[in-house]
Amino acid sequence: MNFDLTEEHRLIRETVRRFAEQEITPVAAEHDRASRFPDELVHRMATLGLLGGPIPKEYGGSGLDFVSHAILTEEVGKADSSLRTTISVQVSLVELSILHWGTEEQKKRYLPKLCTGHLLGCFGLTEPNAGSDPASMETTATRYEKQWVLNGSKIWISNATVADVALVFAQTDKTKGHNGIAAFLIDKGTSGFSTRPITGKLGLRSSDTGELLFENCIVSDSSLLASAGQGFKVAMSALDNGRYSVAAGSVGIIQGCLDACKQYVTTRQQFGKPIGRFQLIQDMIARMAVDLDAARLLVYRAGHLKNLGLVTTIETSMAKYFASEAAVRAASDAVQIFGAYGYSEESIVARYYRDAKVATIYEGTSQIQKLLIGSHVLGMKAFV
> Where does residue 129 rank: exposed (0-12), middle (13-18), buried (19+ CB within 10 A)?
exposed
Q: Is 74 a catalytic residue?
A: no
Is beta strand 269-270 parallel, antiparallel or unpaired with respect to 165-171? unpaired
For helices 313-338 and 366-378, give the axis angle rounded to 10 degrees: 140
**CA–CA distance, 280 with 291 (Å, rounded to integer):** 17
User: Residue 48 and residue 16: Cα distance in Å, rounded?
Assistant: 8
C-beta atoms surrounding 237 within 10 Å: 18
Distance from chain centroid for Cα 297: 18
The end-to-end CA distance of the chain, in Å, is 38
Q: At what angle do helices 231-267 and 348-356 cross, to 10 degrees?
A: 150
Q: How many CB atoms lie within 10 A of CB 220?
A: 11
The β-bridge relationship of strands 121-124 and 165-171 is: parallel
CB count in 10 Å sphere of residue 261: 26
Total residue length of the chain? 384
**Cβ–Cβ < 8 Å for 288, 260:** no
Distance between CA atoms of 205 and 34, rounded to whole angstroms? 8
Pairing of strands 165-171, 181-187: antiparallel
Catalytic residues: 363
